[in-house]
Structure 1
Amino acid sequence: MQSWGISEADIGLLTNAVQLGFIIGTLSFSLSGLADRFEASRIFTVSALFGALFNALFALTADGLSSGLLWRFAVGFSLAGVYPLGMKMVVSWAPERAGQTLAQLVGMLTLGTALPHGIRLVGEDWSWQSSILISSILAVVAAAMICFLGDGPHLKRHPGKSGMRLGHVLSAFTIPQFRASALGYFGHMWEVYAFWTIVPALIVVSGLTQPNTPEQSGISFLVVGIGTISCILGGRLSQHFGSARIAAIALTGSVICCTLFPLLPVDQPGWLLAFLLFWGATVVADSPQFSALSAKAAPVDIVGSALALQNAIGFTIGMVSIQLGTALVSSVGMYIAWLLLPGPLLALWVLAPLWRKPFTPKASQ
């Protein structure tokens, strides 16, 4: 914002350029069936390398909003071959523990989301490009790790089938369990990325710190990063109580946070910080459980495509809340939380058929 003279709403545009690229990419993978026709680890590796390249080019060549938007879109498109395929790969190693393993994956995604704030805290005097370039280096490391690891033993692929089976993935929505999980995920996506995007602004408007300070970066890192712990904890608990119930508990926490945050006293920084940390923990803990529920409900031959399509729709919904949140947060302050409230509230309602069902833990779990 300082270097280019842009506003918080423009930061929303840059964020949404990544989201849009991801959406176009996931739709391409899911509707074409590519996500289930080639080795997931190879798609992941190639996509991560391209993402690292475009990310680095953004840092090294972008000199304003117009050029920045193009590179962010390219990064988002590359991520379409990383996140959904990563979910598919994780499940392929331990399908009987999908909720727990996906929770570890989303926990690491959450830590990665928080990491730029941590890098900013450590390198206070570094240029903004430094954080971007460090993330590119980490993406290359990730590509090498996944290339070496390969696909899991339970991953099913169909290289011999001709044609792309365009639109076959849409049949997943005819399954009631998948439909309930996907709709719940869509409500969750209205809240989570918008919250992550405006966390630095929430810290300022609530009076916890001044903008562009190490304290702002440090608190942002804690508020986003604490979701790593809640994801992993939720994954473990899902083995005993079921993914649907864990998701419902997290959604209830989000409803409470969205409702009460604007009503908190600004002269109590300790309570504000504790509340933001609780919000950061609940906002993402349900995400891997939605993915686990959807992966379990989708037909095995299109699970990768089904998850990719679910991601695409969810990120489309998130684009709206991100743009509204970044455009309004400076004017409405803490009341921006009420903009996010409908997402977890509706998700809790549509998920009810699943979290009300009895759950019996398997002995093997």
Structure 2
Amino acid sequence: MRLPVIPTIVFAQLFGGSLWFSTNGVGEALMRVWSIGPAEIGQLTNAVQLGFILGTLGFALTGLADRFAASRIFAVCAVTGAAANAAFALLAEGMASALVLRFMVGLSLAGVYPLGMKLVVSWVPERAGHALALLVGMLTLGTALPHGLKLAGGGAWQAVLLGSSVLALLAAAMILRLGDGPHLRRRAGAPTLRMGAVLTAFRIPVFRASALAYFGHMWELYAVWTLVPLLVAGSSLVVLAPVSALSFVIIGIGALGCFAGGAISRRTGSAPVAAVALATSGVCCALFPLVADASPAWLLAFFLLWGLSVPADSPQFSAMSARACPPEIVGSALALQNAIGFALTIVSISWGTAMVADWGPKVSWLLLPGPVLGVIALLPLLRGRAAG
């Protein structure tokens, strides 16, 4: 009996995505045990980002993402990431070994996230926007999951990482059992994939606009997710609940934003949903320093709005980009888009974690150019829809 397609893929993304921020979920413990600070936690996050970037570039430029079955690539990479993550928990003794292992996790995730998106399109291309919203929503929950595991596991930081590894192994088994969908098969007479062929995707106006807006979105997204525990720890919210619980809720609520955006996109299209989400998170970036001293209840409401909006546009960019490309380069095009977007996150994460101690809440202003430029990039698609 075949597994249900969309639930299988999105839950596998949830479980595999838990590897991404597993060290951020135990950041407080690592800072205490290894005598490191926020900047080093940012370095660990960026090691994952760098591995992901190089991995996605490799998949994109070689065409590997479209040469082999997406389900097999996903499964192999999820197992590899689980092993590297477990090695961090059991073997890492300081930053030198930790950075190498986190890089390996990022390298493995290059075969989990973009290939998960390709799997969605291969099974349900007619519902790509909605289905990708579910998938990215689960990735968002996966990002928040280590904070939840930390809350459940108390002070045992190694158990949090090992729990993420077990979930990634389960994701591999689920996707291997499901297999690839019947769509995205190469067209008869399509040219043989060659090195760098994916770069032609930027000649397609819709892909180009979507990708540029995605890059603005990425400047903000992962920096926000990295900074949330640090900003919460320095705010009045600590009187309400532990930092891990608050971080889990603030990051995890983004899944609801993705789900809602996916449902709305079925009526409005993807571009308007992406524009509203970008504009909302941009306003949050601009206003956060002005509301940082608000009462805990109001500040929590603000954080929840920010957490709700900041990832909600991501699946819509993937859907627009996938629909714009010929089927034989969809996997490579999504991988390339991811690679460039995640390269930008290294800069914003490094800058944000280095400046947060001195700038405090004003660090959010460093992220504001991303959503502003993203909205500008979307304008041709919004005008085209209005004209149509």
The question of a shared fold, defined as TM-score above 0.5 by the shorter chain, is answered with: yes
Quote the residue 1:167 is aligned against: 196
AA aligned to 1:71 is L
SS in 2 for 1:351: helix
Given that residues 236 and 295 in structure 2 are in contact (C-alpha distance below 8 angstroms), is that contact kept between their aligned partners in structure 1?
no
Quote the residue 1:66 is aligned against: 96
Quote the residue 2:166 is aligned against: 137
| Count of residue pairs the alignment pairs up | 358
Q: CA deviation at 1:356?
A: 2.7
Given that residues 205 and 334 in structure 1 are in contact (C-alpha distance below 8 angstroms), is that contact kept between their aligned partners in structure 2?
no
Equivalent-residue separation in structure 1 for 2:376 and 2:234 (angstroms)? 31
Q: CA deviation at 1:266?
A: 1.2
AA aligned to 1:31 is L
AA aligned to 1:225 is G
Is residue 224 from structure 1 mapped to residue 251 from structure 2 by the alignment? yes
Indicate which of 22, 26, 44 corresponds to 2:56: 26
Residues 78-103 of structure 1: CA deviation (Å, up to 9, x unaligned): 11111100000011111111110100
CA 1:159–1:69 in 2, change beyond 3 Å: closer, same or farther? farther
Equivalent pairs: percent with the same residue? Answer: 61
Residues 148-177 of structure 1: CA deviation (Å, up to 9, x unaligned): 000012132589999761110000001111
Quote the residue 2:131 is aligned against: 101
Q: CA deviation at 1:331?
A: 1.3
Given that residues 131 and 262 in structure 2 are in contact (C-alpha distance below 8 angstroms), is that contact kept between their aligned partners in structure 1?
yes
Q: CA deviation at 1:299?
A: 1.7
Unmatched 5+ stretches in structure 1? none
Q: Could you list the runs of 4 or more consecutive aligned residues of structure 1 that deviate by over 4 angstroms after TM superposition? A: 157-164
CA 1:14–1:160 in 2, change beyond 3 Å: closer, same or farther? farther
Equivalent-residue separation in structure 2 for 1:132 and 1:288 (angstroms)? 27
AA aligned to 1:50 is T
After TM superposition, list the pairs within 5 Å mapping 1:203-352 onto structure 2: 203-209=232-238, 215-264=242-291, 266-352=293-379
In the superposition, the TM-score normalised over structure 2's length comes to 0.89
Equivalent-residue separation in structure 2 for 1:163 and 1:93 (angstroms)? 23
Equivalent-residue separation in structure 1 for 2:204 and 2:278 (angstroms)? 23
Residues 295-343 of structure 1: CA deviation (Å, up to 9, x unaligned): 0111211010000000000000011000111111111111111011000
Is residue 39 from structure 1 mapped to residue 105 from structure 2 by the alignment? no
Unmatched 5+ stretches in structure 2? 1-30
SS in 1 for 2:384: coil
AA aligned to 2:51 is G
Equivalent-residue separation in structure 2 for 1:252 and 1:308 (angstroms)? 25
Is residue 150 from structure 1 mapped to residue 167 from structure 2 by the alignment? no
Quote the residue 2:229 is aligned against: 200
